[in-house]
Every structure is written in C-alpha cells, then in structure tokens.
Amino acid sequence: MQHNFFATISRMKYIERWALMRNSRPENLSEHSLEVAMISHALCVIGNVRYGKHLNAEKAALCGLYHDASEIITGDMPTPVKYANQKLKTAYKEVEADSENRLLDELPDDLRPAFEGIFHAESTEEEHYMRRLVKAADKISALIKCIEEENSGNREFRTAKSTTEESIRHLAAEMPEVTDFVNEFLPSYGRTLDELLTESVRPKTQPRNS
C-alpha cells in the first residue's frame, strides 16, 4: 500500500512565507523549518549544558522541522489575521489541528505513533518547556528574516521586526536560553561571508614560557 505523508511534506518548499509583504528574497516554508529546527536544537543544548535542564534536543529539532507542516494544507496565514481576535485564533487552532491529523492519516498505522509524538506534545514539564523553546526558535527565525530584509534596504519589515523583538524579549525573560542565543549568535546575522570567516579565524594561544 502506498502512503502520501512524505510526498505531501515535501511540498513545504512551495509554501511562501510573508505573503503580504514585499520581499527582497522570498522565503519558503522548507527554509524556515530547517532554521527553526537548528535553533530549537541549539536552545535545548544551551539549556542542558548551562542551566541543568534535561531537554530532548534531538526531538526539539524534529518538532522544529514539522512545526508548520499544517501550512501545506492551510497556507501561511499572516500573523495579524491569525491573532486578530480570540475567535479567529481559536478557529485557526482547530483548522491547524485538523490539518495535522490529515497529514498523520497519510502514515502507515505502525509508524503513526512515532510521528504523533512530534506533532502532539506530551504532558510533562520538560516537554512543555521544550515546546516553548521551539516557539522561541520560530520567533528568532522570523527576526533573522527581518534583519536580512532590513540589511538589503527593504523597509517593509520594520514593524514586523519591532513586534518580533518584543515577543522575543518576553520569552527571554522566562527562558535564559533565548537570551544567550540572542546575545551570542544573533549579532552575526547580516554580516557578509568574508566578515564571518575572517572573524572566525582567531590566533592560537601561545603556550607560556616555563
């Protein structure tokens, strides 16, 4: 029997984000999801290494990869519309959940439980915190897009940048991993490849004379 799950997931590359905005370079859902996956993983690693957490960083990366998969069916609904009021927010959540279940229905019965664990959160404190970090990674990825557009001379994203920065500040107040990533990694975005490679080459520390 044939199953359509992965063929459907592969269509993320056809879903363009920021549809209501003038983009200097279009961004598709596949690109965004990869970036969210990497940042989600990094945030969990920071939490584990620096703050004594016990987060599943590998699962966080998978959650990041699939976090917007429902948009293959719904399309990328602009944030101002999605959260315009509680009624719309609730309705969209229902549509999103239905779309995720439709995707899961495309899996064989024996594989579905493994993927349900990615799409649907477990009711543990660690899982809840990990999912919040994935949400933070989503916001950081959006901010990176705003920075890139701003650096290209496009002023279209200035309001989005401001509101996204405010959202990240609220998240960082409760999650130190977000603060660390923003302080240590975000400043490098927007630099040229030559600048990134030059700055990454540091002289080796010379041993002290005994």
Q: Would you say residue 206 lies in a domain?
A: no
Mean pLDDT value of segment 111-140: 95
Q: Would you say residue 134 lies in a domain?
A: yes
Q: What pLDDT is recorded for position 124?
A: 93
Q: Would you say residue 22 lies in a domain?
A: yes
Q: Would you say residue 119 lies in a domain?
A: yes
Residue-wise pLDDT tens digits, 161-170 = 999 999 999 9
Work out how many domains the chain is built from and give that number: 1
Closest listed residue to residue 136, CA positions, set 101, 178, 85: 178
Q: Would you say residue 210 lies in a domain?
A: no
Q: Would you say residue 146 lies in a domain?
A: yes
Closest listed residue to residue 12, CA positions, set 32, 31, 25, 29: 29
Q: Would you say residue 202 lies in a domain?
A: no
Structural domain that includes position 93: 5-197
Query: How far from the centroid of its chain's Cα atoms is residue 100's Cα?
Result: 17
CATH number for the domain harbouring residue 169 = 1.10.3210.10
Residue-wise pLDDT tens digits, 91-122 = 778 888 999 999 999 999 999 999 999 999 88
Q: Would you say residue 203 lies in a domain?
A: no
